[in-house]
Amino acid sequence: MAIPTGTFMSKNAAGNREDLQDAIYNVSPEETPFLTAAKRMKATNTYHEWQVDALAAATAGNAKLEGDDATTNTTTATTRFGNFCQIATKVPRVSGTQRRIDTAGRSDELTYQVEEKRWPELKLDVEKTCLGLQKGVVRTSTVAGVSGGMARWLFNNQMKVGTADAHTTTAITTAPTVTMTAGTATALTEADLQTLMGTIWAQGGQPTMILCGATNKARISKFAGIAGITNQASKANTIIGAADRYLSDFGELSVVPCRQMPAGNVYVIDPEYWAVAYLRPYERSDLARTGDADRKLLLVEFTLAALNPKSSGKIYTTT
């Protein structure tokens, strides 16, 4: 059917207003399951320290003569661990002109950049750092301090999968600077997980959470010990949302997928023995104008505290 001659159509008009919805849709993930579950502590120096201790091994030979003098037990000193504080920042900058323009989906571009983008990005950076592979690095006048990641702490209980499973219990001494040696990449098995759980249990640990990436989450979901789906939204310091429950020979654990996990690593942890210590909690400040633009400094200074590494363990070099 032909359009009648002389009909003025929308495609010819110059004064039609644009149809731009007054909203912004962002699908990027903001979940930080480790930060949600871990304790929050205060740091008071750039090298944050804590103490760990352990009971003496039990003995069946604790038998004494009747009337004998008491023998003093030898006291073992506590062990001091520490990690280095790391400064992480985000700096949004918006021109004066852009801040005056009538924008859709936000009333002010700089406020949007701060609240909806840079704050969530900074928290994701902290999550990824805490779960990372990086060694701890002491700060100098030319080197930024780096908080050692969880992978560097879990040397008491670890399972390195490869051409042959290698299980080691190398103890970390004071700071997370131990070198990691990867095996040959191999698929995660339920036997690996059960072996690691047994080792942690023998050390005294009672982990309650498995953190893993998407591939290993899918593998664990097929293990015989998966019990079903639960929702933990009522308690503080628990993961909000659905999580599989894995029933091991040594206790029940939540299986929580985490996008910030290092590829190939699986962490079996007790959140009671993990904390993020803040020397300077999340703070913002105005930066001086150096031209026709406004800037904000978003900053956090923090470190990961492995309150007792024996409480947890890791499986690594999985495909």
| pLDDT number for residue 176 | 74
CATH of the domain at 214: 3.90.1690
In a domain? residue 109: yes
Residue 202 lies in a domain: yes
Specify the 3-state DSSP secondary structure of 76: coil
Q: Tell me, what's the pLDDT at 172?
A: 55
Residue range(s) defining the domain that contains residue 113: 83-316
Predicted confidence band of residue 319 (pLDDT cuts 50, 70, 90): confident
Confidence band for 106, pLDDT divided at 50, 70 and 90: confident
Q: Residue 194: inside a domain, yes or no?
A: yes
Count other C-beta atoms under 10 Å from residue 261's C-beta.
25
Please tell me the chain's helix, strand, coil percentages from 3-state DSSP, rounded to the nearest 5: 20, 30, 50
Q: Examine residue 172 and state whether it is found in any structural domain, yes or no.
A: yes
Q: Is 52 a domain residue? A: no
Got the DSSP string for 127-167? HHHHTS-PPPB---SSS--BPPPHHHHTTSSEEE-SSS-EE
Is 78 a member of any domain?
no
Q: Is 47 part of any domain? A: no
The domain tally of the chain equals 1
Output the average pLDDT for the chain.
84
The reported pTM is 0.85
Residue 226 lies in a domain: yes
What is the reported pLDDT for 277? Answer: 96
Write out pLDDT tens, residues 173-225.
Answer: 566 776 666 667 888 899 989 999 999 999 899 999 999 999 999 999 888 87
Q: Give the rounded percent of residues in the chain with a pLDDT score beyond 70.
A: 81
